[in-house]
Structure 1
């Protein structure tokens, strides 16, 4: 299993996290997001995995990391900090590794402020990093959104998608409200011009637009074909509401291309 293309999506995500020196915690959510954007029929179309779905993915993650360790892609190490992965600690091997990767607490983000859990890191080996880089920067691999030359308006959309608090519409949105008197084709022309930078990224699969009807509600994905109609709907935009967290937002997709890099 030395060829990147022979790795499963789950294994590719774990290698990429290991290249970054990331804690295994949160990997269940990350893998589920990448599978969703890859079109897996087993993954529901929503932004985050539920706690139950995360727990169900633990055996898959455990088996994947054991294969990757055995094939020289990565190591699992103890982190020297209780909160952040900053330096390499001693490698975890053998039966201890098998026990830890089978433990859901290794993979799931804690639901409270517990600080007594062991902190581990995924670290790519030199060979694993070499194999990843050969695939990530091979000729023809699409550039990520961070590598494109962007206009000021396009970069504003990119930053909005990158930030958890970023909104397209509403009092905190990066898109201006349409003129109050505009309607019909005039309104559509105004919104079409305004969302042109956004459309570029949605069409390329780099950004996903979601509509959130109420604070803390789950966002519904807006397909590209419905984007203009949706953003022309003043009621959906929630421009006249004072609530934070309603209306349209956008997020960077965890696409296979982004998972690779």
Structure 2
């Protein structure tokens, strides 16, 4: 039976080119480029499958912890291969923000971490989870494929758009970005509006958001419970109606992490950015 050290050493046969990576490996590299924690990766892998139209995952909600657990062995093996191939490193996270000085996890400890479901599943204690860091070589490989010289403008080029587009793009790019709720981008709905007047107000206010959603650039999500990674997806055709619902907006609640947010779509067609 292969021991922990053998598992790490076997990772040296890992892939070296982006097109040779599995979907799970591509997701891990993208997360490492941004310096995300390992906790929550299964939810993001499910999102990539959802955006690609895969029947493996629900179309209009996130996946539960039990559903996420089935990807733990695949993600663990992918992590070891990517470390062995020089794409990324794993750092021991602390309770605060990730730092370049966080110690690297290697050897048998890395193998144990990769196989542990607690490494991957999000919880309130995820702030101490391990952190993914792209190596210099890994980042260069990713950038060469993601941003070819003759490629189209990136969603990240915020200086090319007006203020409202910029605000929506920033919300989609930041894990702390919210559209509604106590810390949301949109102001509270005027209390005197109702019916057709309310719908017209919301339609005008969310016009940029709806355009991005219909173009497949972002996904709008609704979180009803704080301190949870459970959410429902708001399809473009239902966006205006949903944002007219004062209860769903959660504007009068005090907790962070409730209401509507949006996320940059990274399916296989938009594979890298």
Give 1:94-113 correspondences, 5 Å limit. 95-112=108-125
Q: 2:138 aligns with which of 109, 128, 141?
A: 128
| 1:92-137 deviation digits (Å, cap 9, x = unpaired) | 13x443333112233234544896xxx6443333332221111111
User: Do 2:62 and 2:232's aligned partners in 1 also have CA atoms closer than 8 Å?
Assistant: no
Q: Which residue is equivalent to 1:205?
A: 216
C-alpha deviation, 1:237, in angstroms = 4.0
Q: 1:194 aligns with which of 205, 210, 215?
A: 205
Q: Which residue is equivalent to 2:22?
A: 8
Q: 1:62 aligns with which of 58, 76, 88?
A: 76
Q: Flag the structure with larger Rg.
A: 1
Distance 2:112 2:250 in 1: 53
Give 1:78-227 correspondences, 5 Å limit. 78-79=91-92, 81=94, 83=96, 84-87=98-101, 89-90=103-104, 92-93=106-107, 95-112=108-125, 120-138=130-148, 139-140=150-151, 143-145=154-156, 147=158, 149-161=160-172, 162=174, 164=176, 166-168=178-180, 174=186, 177=189, 180=192, 184=196, 189-210=200-221, 219-227=231-239
Distance 1:222 1:22 in 2: 25
| 1:42-61 deviation digits (Å, cap 9, x = unpaired) | 12235543221232221010
Q: 1:45 aligns with which of 50, 53, 59?
A: 59
C-alpha deviation, 1:174, in angstroms = 1.1
Distance 1:36 1:205 in 2: 12
Distance 1:114 1:140 in 2: 36
Give 1:227-238 correspondences, 5 Å limit. 227-231=239-243, 234=244, 236-238=245-247
User: Do 2:179 and 2:186's aligned partners in 1 also have CA atoms closer than 8 Å?
Assistant: yes
User: Do 1:21 and 1:121's aligned partners in 2 also have CA atoms closer than 8 Å?
Assistant: yes
Q: Which residue is equivalent to 1:30?
A: 44
C-alpha deviation, 1:151, in angstroms = 1.9
User: Do 1:170 and 1:237's aligned partners in 2 also have CA atoms closer than 8 Å?
Assistant: no
Structure 2's unaligned 5+ residue stretches are 1-14
User: Do 2:158 and 2:166's aligned partners in 1 also have CA atoms closer than 8 Å?
Assistant: no
What is the TM-score of this pair, normalised by structure 1?
Answer: 0.72
User: Do 1:209 and 1:248's aligned partners in 2 also have CA atoms closer than 8 Å?
Assistant: no
Q: For residues 170 and 183 of structure 1, do their structure 2 counterparts lie closer, same or farther at Cα, with a shift above 3 Å needed? A: farther
Q: Is 1:253 paired with 2:267?
A: no
User: Do 1:210 and 1:222's aligned partners in 2 also have CA atoms closer than 8 Å?
Assistant: yes
What is the TM-score of this pair, normalised by structure 2?
Answer: 0.69
